[in-house]
Amino acid sequence: MLTRIQYKNMPHIRKYLTSKNIAILMFVIYFIIGMMIFRDYGISTDEDIERTTSLINYTYVMERLMASSENDEVRNVLSSTTYLMDWHDRYYGVALQMLTVFVEHWRGFTMSYREIFLMRHAFTFINFFIAAIFFFLILRRRFGDSFIPVVGALFFILYPRFFGESFFNIKDILFFSWCVIASYFVLRWLEDDRKEKFIFPAAITLAVATNTRILGIAILLLACGFAFLQGAFAPGTIKHNLKKSFHLILITFAAFVVITPFTWANPIKNTIDIFFHFLRFQPWNWTHFYMGEMITREVPWHYIPVWMGITVPILYILLFFAGFFAIAYVGAKNGATYIISKFSSAMGLPRENLQSLPEANRLHLYDLFFFAMFACTLLGFILLRINMYEGWRHAYVIFLPFLYVAAYGLYKLFKLYNRGGKITRNSFIGVVSAYMLYLLVWMIINHPYQYVYFNLIGRQFAEENFTLDYWYVSKMDLARYAVNSSDEPIVRLAGGHRFTYMLTEEERSRVVTVGTETADFYLRGSRMYYEWRMRGVPPGFVEAKVIRVDGMRIATLYERVLPFTVDLDSSIWDKIIGFGSNVNENFHYLSDGNFNNRWATQRPQSPGDYLMFEFSEVLRFNYVYLNQGRSNNDFPRDLVIYTSMDGNTWESAPIQASAAERHFIFESEEFYFLRLEIAGDSPINWWSIFDMGFGYATH
């Protein structure tokens, strides 16, 4: 009975299992997941610079409105922001990112750093999400209402590196996303022979992509090149196609100028300046790790193929090669057909069964377009020796044609295996499904570090030969762990400062970033294995937490371990009957437990500055703790400790051990008086104490 009911209702179920409906469900789930997890990712090293550049562009555009604002904070932001034409990154387009600054302006520039960067993470994801929809539309336009567009979009979503970076890479992922969107409208523009109804969306999206990265102009040139070829292959259309190409260039340029404030003063000259600025690029002395060696930005010819070969899922690569050779074969075959047709026509020979290229299948345009995009992008980076930063992120646009060609390869292989019978077809479907399930499980297990994905080949040697978490995104999680695991009211972290932007206000209130000399914790990212080979662990630190992906160390937290054991004795405070100092008498700040108050010299340290204590009985403790709170550089220079029985005759109590400029062990003798005195000086730093303690220590 159950079987009969299921069979009876299958036609009704199948009616809804269309490519479109499945895709809608998939995208809804994807969007919900993205909006649930975007808070889980740390901040990259570029994000604060990108935010600053977008803020500078925004204030340049909105100067008059902000200047007349009744909000003091808005006017303060305007007055403290660098003028666009004086900004060293004025050539970088940030039209999309300016939308996030508009939200800041709308909120009166009162958002916390965490709120700002979380908003930008959500914004980056939404752009990538929209791009995934447009990639689906590209495949649907080419392959129709079949499973290919759905699986291709799933390939797009489940590529681990892009999935992870889609939450924080606000430059390269935005550029990639808008290249996808622009490619859709460009292809529709190329399909449209006469009406040019897609020229404005094509031009505007091209302008946005080019504003994000100047490399977007390559898609415009490719589009015009295809329009020219269409005119050459179709008699009588060359003049029209040249005209419509000119229109596309003109509108794209106009839109680019409108959304690029740097060009407003002199559109043509400044646009040329932008182009040549990135063509020659500014000096960049940072080296990066590639194939076990430190290299400069002038990368070898095999840089992009190798990086893609170890970071793109193996299934994608195999399908790409299948699609690449299939498109090459079909293109060569149709090209030969067209040449023979032309030759036969010229010789007066019969043309039966011969086809011209435009008549074969207009949707082969998609195959050839992305085939050409991949080849031109790869050859362009190699032949023009375009400089690269870490990884292959500057060439992310190449993943668009790569993924399309892989989807085409899936289409061709499915047709091939489908002819082999049900078992062969289902086996092929099973392999693809199992691999996608594997990627999904891998991403869940390694959340939120999907951006460190290496395929089964790459992960065998990636840790010792290639850059890993080069943006130090994982440091935020280490910082949070350090704060939550420490009992100290103020936690000193060494290893950068950007990661603190993503901490909550409560967490940030307890964090101060310092050098390793005074730090409680040291955060070391794993930008490259080279760092681990060349730099040892600072003395006094031990490993506290490690973040690994597939066994590869991507970040490590080290905690300071004192070279002695300490037993603080709070009862000593009850035995203090007198204080003395030559600089400040606010002695109650030393032990009030309030880290907003401090005892301080209130001037730069000078030799002879001292702090003295008188006790009610003879004591013999040997440990002093001085906490500088957030004033991490206000530690005492060359501290000397003296003891006395009468307050007149003082004996030096040599410091036997110290750590982090806060922990001091001295030779203990019986005393009534204790004096801490500075023998050194500092031209700018006070001597500050937010909290103080006494006790007993042993080596």
Which tokens go with 468? 């890993």
Cα(439)–Cα(447) distance, rounded to whole angstroms?
12
For 212-271, how does the pLDDT look when each residue is reduced to its tens digit (9 = 90+)? 999 999 999 999 999 888 877 766 678 888 889 999 999 999 999 999 999 999 999 999
pLDDT of residue 490: 87
pLDDT of residue 6: 47
For 116-141, how does the pLDDT look when each residue is reduced to its tens digit (9 = 90+)? 999 999 999 999 999 999 999 999 99
3-state secondary structure 603-616: CCCCCCCEEEEEEE
Query: What's the pLDDT band for 281 if we cut at 50, 70, 90?
Result: low
Q: Give the range with max mean pLDDT: 71-85, 289-303, 441-455, 662-676.
A: 441-455
SS3 assignment, position 5: helix
pLDDT of residue 19: 82
Q: What does the chain come to in residues?
A: 699
Mean predicted confidence (pLDDT) in 131-158: 95
Query: What's the pLDDT band for 357 if we cut at 50, 70, 90?
Result: very low
pLDDT of residue 360: 44
Beta bridge mates, 492: 512
pLDDT of residue 530: 55
pLDDT of residue 194: 66
Which tokens go with 85? 């034409």
Q: Give the range with max mean pLDDT: 24-38, 183-197, 220-234, 240-254.
A: 24-38
**The amino acid at 354:** L
pLDDT of residue 4: 44
Residue 409 makes CB contacts below 8 A (sequence gap 6+) with 318, 319, 320, 321, 322, 323, 324, 326
456: alpha, beta or left, given left = phi > 0 and alpha = psi -120 to 50? Answer: alpha
Mean per-residue pLDDT over the chain, rounded? 88
pTM here? 0.88
Q: 30 exposed, middle or buried (CB, 10 Å; 0-12, 13-18, 19+)?
A: buried
For 595-624, how does the pLDDT look when each residue is reduced to its tens digit (9 = 90+)? 778 899 999 999 999 999 999 999 999 999
Mean predicted confidence (pLDDT) in 281-292: 70
Q: Phi, psi at residue 614, to the nearest 5°?
A: -115, 135
Q: Which of 483, 556, 546 is nearest to 522 (CA)?
A: 556
Minimum mean pLDDT among 31-35, 53-57, 335-339: which range?
335-339
Beta bridge mates, 626: 692
Minimum mean pLDDT among 284-298, 331-345, 542-556, 609-623: which range?
331-345
Mean predicted confidence (pLDDT) in 663-682: 93
